[in-house]
Amino acid sequence: MAKDKYDFILDLIENKKLTPSQREWVLRLSVKEMKNDGIEFDERLRKIEEKLRECNFKKIEPQSGNSKLVSSGINTQSQEGNPIIHNPKKTVKLLKYFTSNDKNLKYSTHSWEFDKFSGYDHFMESIEKEWNEIKDELRNQNFRLYAKISSFLFQKHLGDKKDDGYYVCWGEKKLKFGWSSSYLKDFMSSGENRDPFNCPIPEQIRLIEKERNLFYFEDYVTVFKNEIEIREDSNALKKIINSLWENELSYDFQVKTEGVEGYSFFTDVAIFKEVIKLIFRNFKSRPEFPNINIRVEKEHGNIILIKLAQLESKCRRIIDDPKIISPDGGDLGTIIKSMKGLADFSISAIFPDNKNYRVNYLASNNLVELIERIEFTDGFTYELKFYL
């Protein structure tokens, strides 16, 4: 795009005679054309995208007591008219500290290289320094994930009984041993070149864990790794889907899966399970539609898209129902809160007006609209986008 066109765009969007919807239309077309011209990171494109964010042109305009989503022409009662913009890619970047060769945190889940650390105290000081650099970011991304990791690494009171009768623990299995457990520190100090992963779990911990197959710290580390990443080597995604199918749907429902093997991606696995369980329970509430299709595919841009569809099922609510476009509670609200910072989330369905819509609740791209018209959907479909 030539520079004179760029200047023309800036002049045009400053024109006070344009309505907010017209300005938004100009900005969106400009961004699209510049990207088509290959100007992905150009300073001019950045300025135009900033104006789109700052002016918030996607806000709705009140009309006769209702509101109109300008960009789609759909009447709504939403006060926002926008998806929630979040950054799951940042969460992935932070979790990669546990696999990156240049990060000390990697060695909380991988064997130590020879002479990498002089001992337990040196290791803990090294990972604490790195953790302090990223912990606030991770806390803001997803608090539950942050709390789990923080407890596994630095909680000194794991296994202690609290006033309410419960134990201090971490993770889905409520485990009570971690890197800051005093027993591990004593084990490391009791002999030269002790391998922390070979530390046996104390008897009193194993008695309250009631997990017979967790005998060494290495076993706990494996659990932790499987709680922050869907791992291809253990075929985790397929196992999770099949287990929840059996436990939540039973075999009254026919579940067809496509492409559920061969993928690894970082996330909070416990939260992921909870969300899939909730989706399955929604499917179960409509037994007249027993056919479920779950498809997983890799999209351009290192995206793993998981689509869970209840075939032939339609949305019972109209598109401008507040429980559809701005769910504060209920199952949709729970999924939105759970997936924030972890994955983009949308639903797509045929609505009572016999039109197909996609509603984007969580989006990484601030140019994504809340409501999109789409050509076709298999049935009421939940869509989760994870980033690699």
347 within 8 A of 323, measured Cβ to Cβ: no
Confidence of residue 87 (pLDDT cuts 50, 70, 90): very high
Strand pairing report for 291-299 and 254-258: parallel
Q: Which of 13, 16, 17, 43 minimizes the C-alpha distance to 29? A: 13
E strands, 40-135, in order: 61-63, 66-69, 74-76, 84-85
Q: What's the pLDDT at 69?
A: 32
Q: How many CB atoms lie within 10 A of CB 14?
A: 10
Q: Which phi and psi (to 5°) does residue 234 adopt?
A: -105, 10
Q: How many CB atoms lie within 10 A of CB 67?
A: 21
365 within 8 A of 89, measured Cβ to Cβ: no
Homologous superfamily, domain 234-387: Histidine kinase-like ATPase, C-terminal domain (3.30.565.10)
Q: What's the pLDDT at 200?
A: 96
Collapsing DSSP states into helix, strand and coil, what is residue 218? helix
Question: Is residue 312 pLDDT above 70, yes or no?
Answer: yes
Per-domain residue ranges of the chain: 3-57, 99-230, 234-387
Q: How far is it, in rounded angstroms, from Cα 216 to Cα 227?
A: 18
Q: What's the pLDDT at 17?
A: 58
Average pLDDT on 176-204 reads: 92
- DSSP letter for 177, please: -
| Longest CA span, the chain | 79
Give me the sign of the Cα torsion angle 40, 42, 43, 44: negative
Beta-carbon contacts of 8 under 8 Å, excluding residues fewer than 6 positions away, are none
Distances (CA, A) of 188 to 80, 157, 200: 55, 18, 11
Average pLDDT on 311-320 reads: 95
- DSSP letter for 87, please: -
Q: What is the pTM of this model?
A: 0.79
Confidence of residue 220 (pLDDT cuts 50, 70, 90): very high
Question: Is residue 180 pLDDT above 70, yes or no?
Answer: yes
Phi-psi category of residue 245: left, alpha or beta, with phi > 0 → left and psi -120 to 50 → alpha:
alpha
Report the percent of the chain where pLDDT is more than 70.
79
66-69 sheet: strands from edge to edge: 61-63, 66-69, 74-76
Q: What's the pLDDT at 74?
A: 33
Distances (CA, A) of 8 to 1, 27, 31, 34, 69: 11, 12, 14, 14, 27
Strand pairing report for 379-387 and 344-350: antiparallel
pLDDT tens digit string along 97-143? 999 999 999 999 999 988 889 899 999 999 999 999 999 999 999 99
pLDDT tens digit string along 37-83? 554 445 555 556 555 545 443 333 332 233 333 333 333 333 357 89
Q: Which of 63, 29, 69 minimizes the C-alpha distance to 45? A: 29
